[in-house]
Structure 1
Amino acid sequence: MPWANTVVETEVPEWGRGRTVWHYARLVPGHGGTALDEDFLSGLVEAVPGALHQLSRLSLDRVYLACTSAAFTQSDRLAEVTAGSQVRVVSAFEAILVQLRECDARKIALVTPYPRDITEVEVIQFAERGVLVTGSASLGLADGYAEVTLNQQAALVDQLGKEAVQQADAIVLSCTGWPTQAAITMLRRRLGRLVTSSNAAIAQHALGSAREPHR
C-alpha cells in the first residue's frame, strides 16, 4: 500500500471479521512524495517488486496492491513487475471488478477523491472491462484523502444526480486512502443497492465472497 496510507490497516481487518490475517508492506515512490500524480503512481508500481521481496518469506495466500489508481493507470507496467511473483497479486481495481461481476452489477455510479483527470481514466478503464459508468463525481484532491468526511462523500453522491444513481446497479467509492465504512452503511440504507469501496472489495475478495461488507 502507499506509504502514507493509514486507512487500509483500519478498514480491511475489520471487514475480514477475524477470518484473515493481514501483513503490510509500504510502497515508497522514488521521489518520496505523496501527492497523486503521474510520478507518484508510476513510482508506486516500480516499488512493488521491493514490497513483494519484503513479504517473500511469509506464507501467503495472496498479495493485494492497495492502491486503486495505480492499478488502473499503470496496468501494463503492473503486469510486468508482478509477472515473476510466486504468489498471486490482485489489485484493488481488480477486486472491485470481481465483486461487481459476481453481483451482476454492470452499471455503476462512481465517486472518488481523485483529481478529475484520474477519475476520467477510471471511467474509461471500467468501460473497457464491460462496466458502464452512469455518472461520476470527484473531490479533485491530490492528497489528504484520510481527512475526507462522511458529509463530503454524501455530497459527492448527490452531485451524481438522481438519474445516474437510479440507473446504476452499484455505487463505487474508489480509493483505498479515504475512510468508507460509515459511507457504505449510510449509502446502502439510503439508496437500497450495492455500495462498495476499494477496501471493502479487497476484504470481500480475500474472504471469497461478493457480499456487501457488514458492520
Structure 2
Amino acid sequence: MLLQWELDRPSTDPKSAEHIGILVPWANTVVEAELPQWGRGRTVWHYARLVPEHGGTALDEDFLSGLVEAVPGALHQLSRLPLGRVYLACTSAAFTRPRRLIDVSDGHPVRVVSAFEAILTQLRAYGVRRIALATPYPHKVTETEVIQFAERGVAVTGAVSLGLADGYADVTTDEQLALVDQLGKDAVRQADAVVLSCTGWPTRSAIKVLRRRLGRLVTSSNAAIALHALQEHT
C-alpha cells in the first residue's frame, strides 16, 4: 500500500509513467494545478472538459446533472489516447448521481473512477471507518455527502461547509483551516481521518498543515485521485 507521503515523491523512472484521463468541470482551475504536483513523473494527466448544457458554473441541480450528462462527450475526447483509466474530477456529481454516472460511463473500454470513489478507496486502504468532513459546498450538498459516506460504511463524526455554490478556487488555506476548526475537538478526536471534499478548492497546503496539527490522516478529493492512480499503477 502506498503511503500518503509518497504522493510528493518524484519518480526515478519517468519512462514508466502511466497515462491517465481526467474529466474536469469546465470552470475548475484547481485540478490541473494540483495533480501534476503529486506523483511527479509517475503519471501523465490528460484532461477533457465537462460542459453542462445550461452553461452555468454554480453548484446546483442543473449543474450537477449537466456534468454527468457531459461525461460521454468528454470520454470521446480522450478515446484515442492510451489511458490506464479515467477519473471524474467532480466529487459532488458522483455522490449525488451515482446511478446515472454508472449508466453514462457503462461500456467505455477504460475504467471510469469518480473522485468520491477514490476517497473511499483510500479510506478503506488505511482502515478508516470514521471521518470528519469539511467542504465548500452548499449545506444540502454536504448533508447528501454525509449520507452517502454512511451508506458506504464510513461514519461522519462531524461535518462543516462554507455554503458556497461557486468560487471554490478562491478559498484560502487559512479559510480551510478555520473551517476545520469549526468541526470541534470531539469530532476530530473521534475521527480516523479528515476529508477535504471537492476538487475545486486548492488543498495541498492545508493538508500539510492539518497533518502536523491533528496528527492523523488528512486527504482531499484531488489527493485521493492522485494516490488512487499511483496505487493502481504500482
Match of 1:101 among 115, 118, 124: 124
1:88 aligns with 2:111: yes
Q: What letter is aligned with 2:199?
A: T
Query: Quick check: 9-18 or 28-37, which moved more?
Result: 9-18
Structure 2: runs of 5 or more not aligned: 1-23
Q: What letter is aligned with 1:126?
A: F
Deviations 1:59-114 (A, max 9, x none): 00000000000000010100000001110000000000000000001100000000
1-structure distance, mates of 2:132, 2:163:
17
TM-score by length of structure 1 reads 0.96
Q: Which 4+ runs in 1 deviate beyond 6 A?
A: none
% of aligned pairs identical? Answer: 78
* Matching residue of 1:185: 208
Match of 1:7 among 30, 33, 51: 30
* Matching residue of 1:201: 224
Per the alignment, in what secondary structure is the counterpart of residue 45 of structure 2?
coil
2-structure distance, mates of 1:136, 1:95:
19
Deviations 1:144-176 (A, max 9, x none): 000001111011111100000000000000000
Structure 1: runs of 5 or more not aligned: 210-215
Q: What letter is aligned with 1:80?
A: D
More strand by share: 2
Cα distance, 1:13 vs structure 2:
1.1
TM-score by length of structure 2 reads 0.89
Cα distance, 1:134 vs structure 2:
0.2
2-structure distance, mates of 1:66, 1:136:
21
2-structure distance, mates of 1:17, 1:127:
33
Q: Give the paired residue count.
A: 209
Q: What letter is aligned with 1:54?
A: Q
The alignment yields a C-alpha RMSD, in angstroms, of 0.6
2-structure distance, mates of 1:35, 1:160:
25
* Matching residue of 1:147: 170
**Aligned residue runs from structure 1 range 163-178, under 5 A:** 163-178=186-201
* Matching residue of 2:39: 16
* Matching residue of 1:135: 158
Cα distance, 1:197 vs structure 2:
0.1
Cα distance, 1:40 vs structure 2:
0.1
Per the alignment, in what secondary structure is the counterpart of residue 100 of structure 1?
helix
**Aligned residue runs from structure 1 range 38-77, under 5 A:** 38-77=61-100
Cα distance, 1:16 vs structure 2:
2.0
* Matching residue of 2:145: 122
Per the alignment, in what secondary structure is the counterpart of residue 206 of structure 2?
helix
2-structure distance, mates of 1:50, 1:68:
19
Cα distance, 1:180 vs structure 2:
0.0
Per the alignment, in what secondary structure is the counterpart of residue 40 of structure 2?
coil
Greater relative contact order, per chain length (Cα 8 Å cut-off, separation 6+):
1
